[in-house]
A = this chain, B = another copy of it.
Amino acid sequence: MLTIWLNYMVKSKKNIPAEQKILEAAKQVFFDKGMHGARMQDIADKAGINKAMLHYYFRSKEKLFETIFMDAIEHLFPKLNSILGSDKTAFEKIEMICVAYINQLQQVPYLPLFILSEANRQETFLKKLWANQKPPLKAFSDMIEKAIQQKQVKQINPLQLLMNILSLCIFPFAAKPLLQQVAGISKKDYAALIEERKKIVPQLIIQSIKK
């Protein structure tokens, strides 16, 4: 949730719609074009308001971008915490994580590439973000280590396992335009492939660690 919204909600309820419109428009344009490619004019047009308004609400393009970016990256680690904290088995949790990831990315398919690109450009933002909210890496590692000790899963580096999961879930979204072109398939067919992966990926992952 964007804390700035809360501020304005307290100050004046009337400001919410305009600001929401701006944020929604900015999201679309930034996700599509990236920080540098995006134009304030495009955002204003898409929001149906004046360009000057953007500067009224968010002092600068940089600030507006940072707001969007921070909000977006928080969606990278969605309900992982709740899944990890549940009382399911390790295998069930892993499957749920994969499916949750793919499900969420289907809603926001442009997120991965956006975040990867900007994370690459500006490590600063990442550091700022971790200060607030660390991704639940520890909980994940602990789960795996525990399952290893209980002889349920093979000896494996949790980081490698995490990398495998993230790769298999996220990459197909980041590489969509490229892969779709290479395979020469329609948008719809590609979506079907993704849908299919909700079964394939967990299978693949679990099979690889099961003892």
Contact = CB atoms under 8 A, between A and B. Distances in A.
Interface string A110-137: 0001011101110100110010000101
A-side interface mostly: helix
Contact of A193 (B117, B160, B176): B160
Interface string A164-207: 10111011101111110111010000000100110010011001
A15 interface: no
A210 to B, nearest CB: 10
A65 to B, nearest CB: 13
Contacts of A37: 34-36, 121
Contact of A117 (B117, B126, B157): B117
B167 A34 contact: no
A159 interface: yes
Contacts of A120: 113, 176-178
A155 interface: no
